[in-house]
């Protein structure tokens, strides 16, 4: 009897063992199927700075078209606020989950390279490829002789003005800053502001501020020069006399354009691509575009985006996508639909021509633009500029001399940190 029970127990344990082995084998097979590379959907991730204009929407359209081509991976775009861009990349790097490509202001290139995020693209950017791009645009992607990105757009700061408002006073946008200040004083109307600029986002105010500084004859190493101080004095008078609203410290580009299109602000300095917000605005404002006034000389400062490939990307797939995005046909449609300028030698567009922006301005932007001084500590520099200018516009007790001293001290320290 005991022998029979023992045999039955052995049989039962054998059956249980075989069943467990079957489950394990089946799980192993399923696991192999799930993780086999050939059965996974290929995917590329692009991380881009969130823009307040409508360029994000058109970029998505282009990438969706690429994804729909048979054999291509699905392209997923992640948009990150300017203020969080560096922190998000650091987080992804620590988690070993960097995106495959990044799109950002080319001035960030040295900083991203110092963080070991960007892949060396020198082999990809051959002499033939390099010749397709404007020299200064290509130069904005080079650090210590090594190319870390491909030029994508040129997006200069310009003056948007309410044409009907200035016509009422029989005025036009002048060439120099002194006359521009007088124009704003003479055309000030009750309940509105003559001039506006976006201060909320640090990259916006840093870039627009540097355009004004370079046009004043200054640069990052001379923020307390006589001409720079003159610029702060003019901006200070605009602040104190109610020509510029203190609300600007809370405005991004989109907020500024909404204030402009509603008539609350009559003249605005913003990126050329902000045209997209006005052209699709229900207000249908009658506006035109002019060049930034200067103090010493007219300076064309290159402002634009680049596309970089990260160190951990699938290089072959990333470069294939890069070829597509930067091809002349795709690039031209992107420039026209996002109201930006071309960085290619074989494509030239002027989306602002319908609003009075001259072809001569576009040609000078293409042939005479200078590069901002760029440093690996750019994120610290832009933080310092944004903080100082936000305080300056928001606090009437802050003098031009005080902001000049603060900027010079903080930026000098940031440059020495590199």
For residue 328, CA distances in Å to 49, 60, 194, 324, 373 come to: 23, 18, 40, 9, 29
What is the DSSP secondary structure assignment for residue 140, as one 8-state letter?
T
By the 8 A CB rule, do 271 and 67 touch? no
User: Given a cut of 80, is residue 113 above it in pLDDT?
Assistant: yes
Record the tokens describing residue 268, joined without a space.
């605005």
Average pLDDT over residues 178-186: 97
CA dihedral 241, 242, 244, 247 (to 10 degrees): 140
Record the tokens describing residue 141, joined without a space.
């992607």
Shortest CA distance to 111 belongs to which of 74, 86, 140?
86
Strands 150-151 and 146-147: unpaired
DSSP code per residue over 339-395 = T-B--BSS----TTGGGT--HHHHHHHHHH-BPPP--TTHHHHHHHHHHHHHHHHH-
Q: How confident is the model at residue 4 (pLDDT cuts 50, 70, 90)?
A: low
Shortest CA distance to 77 belongs to which of 106, 108, 99?
99
Distance CA 47, CA 106 (A): 14
Distance CA 402, CA 217 (A): 20
Res 15: pLDDT: 61
Average pLDDT over residues 381-395: 94
Give the rounded percent of residues in the chain with a pLDDT score beyond 90.
Answer: 75
Q: How confident is the model at residue 40 (pLDDT cuts 50, 70, 90)?
A: low
Residue-wise pLDDT for 63-76, tens only, equals: 999 999 999 999 99
Res 28: pLDDT: 38
pTM for the whole structure:
0.87
Other beta carbons within 10 angstroms of residue 127's beta carbon come to 6
Residue-wise pLDDT for 5-39, tens only, equals: 555 556 555 665 555 555 443 433 333 333 333 43
Residue-wise pLDDT for 299-329, tens only, equals: 888 999 999 999 999 999 999 999 999 999 9
Res 94: pLDDT: 94
Q: Dihedral of CA 325/330/333/335: which sign?
A: positive
Average pLDDT over residues 401-418: 89
Residue-wise pLDDT for 52-61, tens only, equals: 777 889 999 9
SS3 150: strand
SS3 79: strand
Res 12: pLDDT: 58
User: E strands within 138-206?
Assistant: 142-143, 146-147, 150-151, 157-162, 193-197
Res 27: pLDDT: 39
Res 110: pLDDT: 93
Strands 193-197 and 265-271: parallel
What is the DSSP secondary structure assignment for residue 37, as one 8-state letter?
G
């Amino acid at each position: 009897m005991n022998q029979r029970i023992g045999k039955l127990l052995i049989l039962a344990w054998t059956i249980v063992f075989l069943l467990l082995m079957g489950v394990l084998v089946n799980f192993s097979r399923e696991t192999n199927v799930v993780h086999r590379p050939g059965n996974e959907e290929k995917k590329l991730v692009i991380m881009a700075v969130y823009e307040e204009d409508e360029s994000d929407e058109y970029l998505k359209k282009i990438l969706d078209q690429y994804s729909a081509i048979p054999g291509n991976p699905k392209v997923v775009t992640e948009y990150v606020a300017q203020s969080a861009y560096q922190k998000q990349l650091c987080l992804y790097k620590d988690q070993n989950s960097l995106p495959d490509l990044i799109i950002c202001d080319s001035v960030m290139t040295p900083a991203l390279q110092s963080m070991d995020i960007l892949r060396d693209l020198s082999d990809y950017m051959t002499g033939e490829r390099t010749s397709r791009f404007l020299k200064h645009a290509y130069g904005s992607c080079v650090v210590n002789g090594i190319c870390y990105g491909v030029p994508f757009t040129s997006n200069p700061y310009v003056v948007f003005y309410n044409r009907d408002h200035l016509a009422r006073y029989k005025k036009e946008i002048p060439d120099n800053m002194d006359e521009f200040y007088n124009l704003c004083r003479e055309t000030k109307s009750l309940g509105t502001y003559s001039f506006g600029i976006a201060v909320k986002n640090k990259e916006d105010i840093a870039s627009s501020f540097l355009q004004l500084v370079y046009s004043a004859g200054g640069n990052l190493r001379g923020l307390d020069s006589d001409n720079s101080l003159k610029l702060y004095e003019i901006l200070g008078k605009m602040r104190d006399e109610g020509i510029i609203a203190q609300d600007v410290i809370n405005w991004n580009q989109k907020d500024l354009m909404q204030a402009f299109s509603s008539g609350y602000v009559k003249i605005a300095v913003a990126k050329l691509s902000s045209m997209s917000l006005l052209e699709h605005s229900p207000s249908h404002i009658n506006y035109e575009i002019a060049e930034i006034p200067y103090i010493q000389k007219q300076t064309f400062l290159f402002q634009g985006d680049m596309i970089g490939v990260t160190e951990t990307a699938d290089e072959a797939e990333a470069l294939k996508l890069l070829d597509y995005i930067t091809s002349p046909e795709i690039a031209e449609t992107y420039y026209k639909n996002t109201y930006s300028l071309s960085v290619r030698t074989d494509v030239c567009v002027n989306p602002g021509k319908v609003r009075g922006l001259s072809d001569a301005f576009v040609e000078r932007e293409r042939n005479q633009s200078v590069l901002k001084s760029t440093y690996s500590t750019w994120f610290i520099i832009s933080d310092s500029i944004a903080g100082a200018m936000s305080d300056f516009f928001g606090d009437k007790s802050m003098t031009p001399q005080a902001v000049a001293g603060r900027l010079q001290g903080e930026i000098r320290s940031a440059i020495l940190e590199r």
